A and B are shown apart, each in its own frame.
Chain A
Amino acid sequence: MTATERLHAGPEHAGQTIGAHHRNGHRPEGHGPGDRVHDEPADPRPIGHGRMPRKEDARFLRGRGRFLDDIALPGLLHLAILRSPLAHARIVRIDTTAAQAHPKVKLVVTGEMLANLPGLAAPPRASDKPTTPHDGRNLAWMPTLADDVQAVLATDKVRYQGQEVAFVVATDRYAARDALELIDVEYEPLPPVVDPRAALDPDAPVIRDDLVAAGKPGPPNHCFDWEAGDKAAVDAVFARNDVVTVRQEMVYPRVHPTPLETCGAVADFDPIEQTLTVWCTTQAPHAHRTLYAALTGLPEHRIRVISPDIGGGFGNKVPIYPGYICAMVASWMLGRPVKWIEDRYENLVSTAFARDYHMTGEIAATRDGRILAVRATVLADHGAFNAVAVPSRYPAGFFGGVFTGSYDIGAAYCHVTAVYTNKAPGGVAYACSFRITEAVYLIERLVDCLAAELNLDPVELRRRNLLRAEQFPYRTATGWTYDSGDYAATLQEALRLADYDALRREQAQRRARGELMGIGVSFFTEAVGAGPRRHMDIKGLGMADAASLVVHPHGGAELRVSCQTQGQGHETTFAQIVAEELGISPEDIRVVHGDTERTPYGLGTYGSRSTAVSGAAAALAARRIRETARQIAAAMLEVSPDDLRWTKGAFHVAGDESSAVTIGEIARFAYGPDLPAHLESGLRAELAYDPPALTNPYGCYICVVDIDPGTAVVRVRRFIAVDDCGTRINPMIVEGQVHRGLTDGIGMALMQMIAFDELGNCLAGSLMDYLLPSALEVPDFETAATVTPSPHHPLGAKGIGESATVGSPPAIVNAVVDALRPFGVRHIDMPLTPSRVWAAMTEAAARPAAPPA
């Protein structure tokens, strides 16, 4: 018995309903919408879709991964960044004399020096280095991925604690850090804006005086306003006297994705060839190259961006960070390779955070629980620079498109006001599917609040309002379309796995004994796989991705894709996609990614778009090759192409299976001398996939918690997750993605928050303060699948990378609030730390009208 067989035969697997395993190269026939998928024996070496161990594991298991900090080049120098200790201050003076005198230091650079550098297109000159004041921004500022600019190194003032002020390059990493201590910066402290609710006050300190000086209208700390839906229709529903309404304020706190590997770059400028090679921790190498070209003035064909193995991304590695630019500048100035890598403090305090949405939700329903309208008013804290990574037409992400959730709600309206504060920039990261996390949290909490108001079971209220299978494709009240689903079936499967009724009975018994047990349910619908490019772009780059596929004369294949794995297993999944289409073993298919010089253009991996976009591109490229192969096979067999039938891996003449020619034989013939003159030599295809629409993975989650009445510690006892992501290419990898997201959810709901004090000091600058779930805080997850293939995706796949992060937090909060129902608690803001839960219990108990416990 092989290792893989044992994995699936062993008792370790009990408790999981195995996902779909499609073997025959067809669309998942027999798995109609909402069909439950049953256990199937695993093929340890599938030629196509199915469970198989990952190809990339061979190097990771041996410690032979190649992460950013593993890169060693001859003459490599080390860069370290001096950061602001203050959240808001004017820079009076920077003295770098002592740092420059350090024997191991090669270069010290301040913002003023970058303001003198127009770019990297011309060779460095001696006159670039003196620190003369300069009005121009030049390389001291860079565009963000949103419609804003961000300081590379501060010139005028610092706007958040941890902002980049200067950098040092030295011969080793310890010396570079030493020299930072020798830089003397004189700051004139300014009052900070920490609370976003005070950002628009008339007397609020002005953070972005640079924008005000450039003529920005409106309140100085105002970033943008955005709305979606029909305000009048919603107002009309709320004005009716026959509806029940519930209003709840809730904060989705600032959190940080915290990949285990921090961000970094190695830049290597070749002054002879005038080429710049940048290894950096990016989820989007092609987009980064285009933006580096725009910033530096070097044309794209002189820049090569390589994204090596990435130690987790989760959206943290989408933005462009000042450190990347600093490394490029340093290498250009010194003519030597330069490495910059953050420490954990730098990663936590300065790189892309997530959420920070201060929401007021209102929901209106009939007395029998038919939801009629939902309204959301959001205050969004964007930090000091608007550096969100979202499609440019959607500054609040997809929040406004999907905040009616999974329900048939006729009227909806939301208004988002974004403000600047003296905090790190970011906002869209951490597996959020462009702010669908916030939308799902809002509606799922509101539905539970409404259920409590109506004294209905939250499952029953959901059942009365969930979209019905016959309503798909469904258009939301704010005009977005959901492609497919059978929500009732998924809900039913989750209830069955959880044995929901038994849980409620157990809860009643425990409550009678004074124990605090809670059951929380959430149902979510995602919208992922952006574009189409005509609606979705980032900095004018349409969200389409290309794939290039070659079958070599010996029958092996090479697939080149623009997306970039950060642990999702692309080298396996994408090989399986091609294997399914061409009948070549995944072992004989090499997947190339993460290098602009070796892959076709595309926007990269975030927003659960790899399988949804690049996966489609790979499948279509393979199908195009199959059609070329048909022409070649026809020549080989001397029949008409129309007379050929494809069985996985071979063409044969209809009715004569003995006549088959395999894809390997076809490939050899395609490169050979006997190929007919009318056919082009070789077997290859390249195409870009422009998604016709978003895909809509969805799922139902049930969480069971126990709360210690003496300490208010919440323990997640069970977590049941039924996900429908359409076709599952490799169910093992899909389940791993779900496990990660559920753990994210537990972390965000119970532990994680980037908090600040009133001076803007970040209180979560280490992993001692920013608490991540360990193996002790998470249960053994119970996962299962329903399969409703996307009707418009070539594989029926919808994407899975972020589903569980999006869907799980409200299930956990709903469970905790459910446990505290005897105390009259209706809502607690995340994270549900023991102190917050304790406060909710004691405050509720102190209220005179509190119901008996």
Chain B
Amino acid sequence: MSMWVTVTINGERVRRDVEPRLLLVHFLRDELGLTGTHWGCDTSNCGACAVWLDGEPVKSCTVLTVMADGHEVRTVEGLEAGGELDVVQRAFLACHGVQCGFCTPGMLMTARALLDRNPDPSEAEIREAISGQVCRCTGYASIVRAIRWAAAEERRNRTATSEGGQ
């Protein structure tokens, strides 16, 4: 048995015939070759598979592809725009937020979502936001630092833009 789904991935509409049980993480990785989204635990504990579904971070190991039918998905491959890294990507580079790189895509997606709804998060808010995701390498300190760095950078950019407009 299979079903046709139409999903908008990183702004691009794709239509595929899938098994109803196919997990979104496997759809992204195996069907579309978007291997930036990782799989780590099966039980929604590790968050390596975090992507956006209609703008909200979800764990794609516990979302069926058919549930994404007609919806928008954004993955780590959709963060970079016009050849420019997103500020959260630059922040993880600057603050050593990456070690093995396996949790990184999920962390980046959560970080981006956090800053979109809270441009000036406290350290406690950042830790809360990423608490559903496991990193085995960094001890989180540099990831927290990176997200604070990204928030500060975006605030600076916004100020510069608004001043430039006056």
Chain A positions within 8 Å of B, measured between CB atoms, are: 3-4, 6-7, 10, 12, 53-54, 56-67, 69-70, 72, 172-174, 258-262, 309-312, 314, 343-345, 566-569, 732-733, 735-736, 739-743, 766-768, 772, 774-776, 778, 780-781
In the complex, chain A residues whose CB is within 8 Å of the CB of B144 = 775, 780
Complex formed: what's the CA distance from A6 to B135 in Å?
Answer: 25
With known contacts A72-B33, A311-B102, A766–B89 Cβ distance under 8 A: no
Segment at the A interface, from B1-9, B35-43, B114-122: B35-43
Contact present for A12 and B131 (CB under 8 Å): no
Complex formed: what's the CA distance from A63 to B104 in Å?
Answer: 8
Contact present for A780 and B141 (CB under 8 Å): yes
Contact present for B149 and A10 (CB under 8 Å): yes
Complex formed: what's the CA distance from A67 to B95 in Å?
Answer: 23
Query: Which residues of B91-128 are within 8 A (CB) of A?
Result: 91-96, 98-105, 108, 123, 126-128
Task: Name the residue on B nearest A568 (C-beta).
Answer: B99
> Which 4 A-B residue pairings sit nearest by Cβ, starting from the closest?
A63-B36, A567-B100, A60-B101, A311-B102
**Min distance, Cβ A190 to any Cβ of chain B, angstroms:** 30
Complex formed: what's the CA distance from A768 to B41 in Å?
Answer: 10
Complex formed: what's the CA distance from A647 to B100 in Å?
Answer: 35
Contact present for B136 and A344 (CB under 8 Å): no
Complex formed: what's the CA distance from A259 to B38 in Å?
Answer: 13
In the complex, chain A residues whose CB is within 8 Å of the CB of B132 = 774
**Min distance, Cβ A739 to any Cβ of chain B, angstroms:** 3
Contact present for A6 and B134 (CB under 8 Å): no
Can you sample 22 A-B contacts with CB below 8 Å?
A: A3-B94, A6-B149, A12-B95, A53-B93, A57-B93, A62-B77, A62-B85, A65-B101, A69-B35, A72-B33, A174-B19, A174-B21, A260-B100, A260-B103, A260-B134, A568-B99, A740-B137, A767-B46, A774-B130, A775-B126, A776-B127, A778-B141
**Min distance, Cβ A712 to any Cβ of chain B, angstroms:** 21
Contact present for B100 and A312 (CB under 8 Å): yes
Main secondary structure of the interface of A (DSSP, over half): loop
Size of interface on B: residues with Cβ below 8 Å to A: 67
Contact present for B139 and A63 (CB under 8 Å): no
With known contacts A53-B96, A260-B46, A61–B104 Cβ distance under 8 A: yes
Complex formed: what's the CA distance from A63 to B51 in Å?
Answer: 12
Is B152 an interface position by the 8 A CB rule?
Answer: yes
Complex formed: what's the CA distance from A53 to B98 in Å?
Answer: 10
Could you list 15 further interchain pairs (A-B, Cβ under 8 angstroms) beyond the known A6-B153, A736-B138, A772-B134? Answer: A3-B91, A58-B93, A60-B101, A61-B108, A67-B102, A70-B35, A174-B21, A312-B100, A312-B137, A567-B99, A567-B137, A732-B96, A735-B96, A741-B139, A775-B127
Contact present for A63 and B76 (CB under 8 Å): yes
With known contacts A739-B138, A767-B41, A774-B132, A259–B93 Cβ distance under 8 A: no
Is B45 an interface position by the 8 A CB rule?
Answer: yes
Q: Which residue in B40, B41, B142 is a CB contact (below 8 Å) of A736?
A: B142
Contact present for A10 and B152 (CB under 8 Å): yes
Main secondary structure of the interface of B (DSSP, over half): loop
Chain B positions within 8 Å of A, measured between CB atoms, are: 19, 21-22, 26, 29-30, 33-43, 45-46, 48, 75-77, 79-80, 85, 89-96, 98-105, 108, 123, 126-128, 130-145, 148-149, 152-153
Contact present for A767 and B45 (CB under 8 Å): yes
In the complex, chain B residues whose CB is within 8 Å of the CB of A70 = 29, 35
Task: Name the residue on B nearest A61 (C-beta).
Answer: B89
Contact present for B94 and A740 (CB under 8 Å): no
In the complex, chain A residues whose CB is within 8 Å of the CB of B30 = 172-173
Contact present for A767 and B95 (CB under 8 Å): no
**Min distance, Cβ A744 to any Cβ of chain B, angstroms:** 8
With known contacts A7-B95, A12-B148, A57-B92, A767–B43 Cβ distance under 8 A: yes
Contact present for A7 and B139 (CB under 8 Å): no
In the complex, chain A residues whose CB is within 8 Å of the CB of B85 = 61-62
In the complex, chain B residues whose CB is within 8 Å of the CB of A343 = 42
Contact present for B94 and A768 (CB under 8 Å): no
In the complex, chain A residues whose CB is within 8 Å of the CB of B41 = 344, 766-767
**Min distance, Cβ A587 to any Cβ of chain B, angstroms:** 14
**Min distance, Cβ B145 to any Cβ of chain A, angstroms:** 5
Task: Name the residue on A nearest B33 (C-beta).
Answer: A72
Complex formed: what's the CA distance from A172 to B93 in Å?
Answer: 36
In the complex, chain A residues whose CB is within 8 Å of the CB of B42 = 343-345, 766
Contact present for B43 and A54 (CB under 8 Å): no
Complex formed: what's the CA distance from A262 to B61 in Å?
Answer: 15
In the complex, chain A residues whose CB is within 8 Å of the CB of B104 = 60-61, 63, 65
Complex formed: what's the CA distance from A740 to B103 in Å?
Answer: 14
Task: Name the residue on B nearest A736 (C-beta).
Answer: B96
In the complex, chain B residues whose CB is within 8 Å of the CB of A732 = 96
Contact present for B21 and A767 (CB under 8 Å): no
With known contacts A54-B98, A775-B144, A3–B131 Cβ distance under 8 A: no
Contact present for B93 and A63 (CB under 8 Å): no
Complex formed: what's the CA distance from A566 to B141 in Å?
Answer: 19
Q: Which residue in B45, B100, B145, B149 is a CB contact (below 8 Å) of A259?
A: B100
With known contacts A54-B96, A173-B26, A781–B90 Cβ distance under 8 A: no
**Min distance, Cβ B34 to any Cβ of chain A, angstroms:** 7
With known contacts A7-B149, A63-B34, A261-B38, A569–B99 Cβ distance under 8 A: yes
Q: Which residue in B26, B79, B138, B153 is a CB contact (below 8 Å) of A740?
A: B138
Q: Which residue in B36, B77, B92, B130 is a CB contact (below 8 Å) of A775?
A: B130
**Min distance, Cβ B16 to any Cβ of chain A, angstroms:** 14
In the complex, chain A residues whose CB is within 8 Å of the CB of B128 = 775-776
In the complex, chain B residues whose CB is within 8 Å of the CB of A736 = 96, 99, 137-139, 142
Contact present for A739 and B141 (CB under 8 Å): yes
Task: Name the residue on B nearest A768 (C-beta).
Answer: B43
**Min distance, Cβ A46 to any Cβ of chain B, angstroms:** 15
Task: Name the residue on A nearest B152 (C-beta).
Answer: A10
Contact present for B136 and A260 (CB under 8 Å): yes
Contact present for A776 and B131 (CB under 8 Å): yes
In the complex, chain B residues whose CB is within 8 Å of the CB of A67 = 35, 38, 102
**Min distance, Cβ A388 to any Cβ of chain B, angstroms:** 22
